[in-house]
Amino acid sequence: MGGTSGHLECNSYTFIRSVITAASRSESRLILRLWVTTLGVVALLAQAGQAQRPAPSHSTYVIVHGAWGGSWDWHLVDSLLTRRGHHVYRPSLTGLGERVHLASPTVGLATHVEDVVNTILWEDLKDIILVGHSYGGMVITGVADRIPERIHRLVYLDAFLPDSGERTLDLADSIGVTYIRPNIRDGFIVPPWVNDRSAIPRDVPQPLRTFTDTLRLLNPAARKVPGVYILTVESGKEPDQFQRFADRAAARGWPVRRLTADHVPERSAPLALVNILTEVR
């Protein structure tokens, strides 16, 4: 751009000098005034064009947390994305996080899908990047089946990537998650780390139905929504439990990204996670 502008200015002044030297008639003076005015307009337009260059595109992220957790766990990731100009929504699923007072054995996977669908519809969000962490992969799959037209991209973060007819409990069994079945009590899954009820915020018991409800996918349009899989792998702990679902994603032709972190990168590697999230837009 700079070289072209300099060449234009040089030719313009050469032309003006030739007009002044060659003639003094009133017609030449009129042409000179018109040319100088034109140069001024061109310069102003060039400056305006630079000032009005479109800002870098920003995205809207809807982040769905995993089992036992809540939106509180994603505050730092939210802040980092927001500082980069993005918009972030972090719905807490019914019975979890700050909505723990709504916990009930009747809360199922369909309830959590409805939580996220309603967030998107009532906030009138469009062209979103829908992120599901761990169990959240079940939820965002159900959401995509309901409102695929609202979703720009799905991001599965070390998450279950289910097919129609599958249940969270069976998928957890398939990757060797052994602490779920022994900790089922009174309609909830209560692993040892959620027994401390004094801390706030904290992980809380997970309604069992969210793991035993069968996911039914009925909308063919949902298969057209592009996705990305982010597999977190702890150093020295390969193969990773969720590799099976990363392989499913790859079989669909989706990119698979690896992140060196434990299963909760929102805590252990938030900046690295945000860097990947902004790259997969």
Say if residue 109 is in the same domain as residue 248.
Answer: yes
Angle at 159 between CA 93 and CA 211, to 5 degrees: 55
User: Is residue 33 domain-shared with residue 142, that is, in the same domain?
Assistant: no
Which of 24-33, 108-117, 239-248 is predicted with the least confidence, judged by mean pLDDT? Answer: 24-33
Residues 171, 100 share a domain: yes
Please compute the mean of the pLDDT values over residues 18-35 and round it to a whole number. Answer: 44
User: pLDDT, tens digit, for every residue of 207-233?
Assistant: 999 999 999 999 999 999 999 999 999
The number of domains in the chain is 2
**AA identity, residue 68:** W
Structure tokens given for 69: 């957790």
Do 86 and 118 belong to one domain? Answer: yes
Q: Are residues 137 and 252 in the same domain?
A: yes
- Percent pLDDT > 90 in the chain is 75
pLDDT at 37 over 70: no
SS (H, E, C) 36-83: HHHHHHHHHHHHHHHHCCCCCCCCEEEEECCCCCCHHHHHHHHHHHHH
pLDDT at 91 over 80: yes
pLDDT bin (cut points 50, 70, 90) of residue 185 is very high
Residue 235 bears catalytic tag: no
> In terms of domains, do 88 and 14 share one?
no
**Same domain as 111, residue 32:** no
pLDDT at residue 121, rounded to an integer: 98
What residues contact 222, with CB distance under 8 A and at least 6 apart? Answer: 144, 145, 148
Q: Is the pLDDT of residue 74 over 80?
A: yes
Domain boundary among 12, 33, 51: 51
Residue-level pLDDT at 3: 44
Shared domain for 101 and 163, answered yes or no, is yes
CA distance 9 to 13: 6
- Which CATH number does the domain housing residue 101 bear? 3.40.50.1820
Summarize the chain as % helix, strand, coil (round to 5).
50, 15, 35
In the numeric block, the tokens 């193969």 are attached to: 239
Residues 97 and 217 in one domain: yes
Tell me, yes or no, whether 145 and 26 share the same domain: no
Mean confidence (pLDDT) of the chain: 86
36, 74, 186 from 141: Cα distances, Å: 63, 20, 27
Verify that 96 and 119 share a domain, yes or no: yes
Domain span at residue 8 reads 2-51
Of the candidates 5, 59, 134, 164, the residue annotated as catalytic is 134
Instruction: Enter the DSSP assignment of 178.
Output: -
Using the 8-state DSSP alphabet, how is residue 87 labeled?
Answer: E
- 174-193 mean pLDDT: 96
27 and 90 co-located in one domain: no
Q: Span 52-58, mean pLDDT?
A: 53
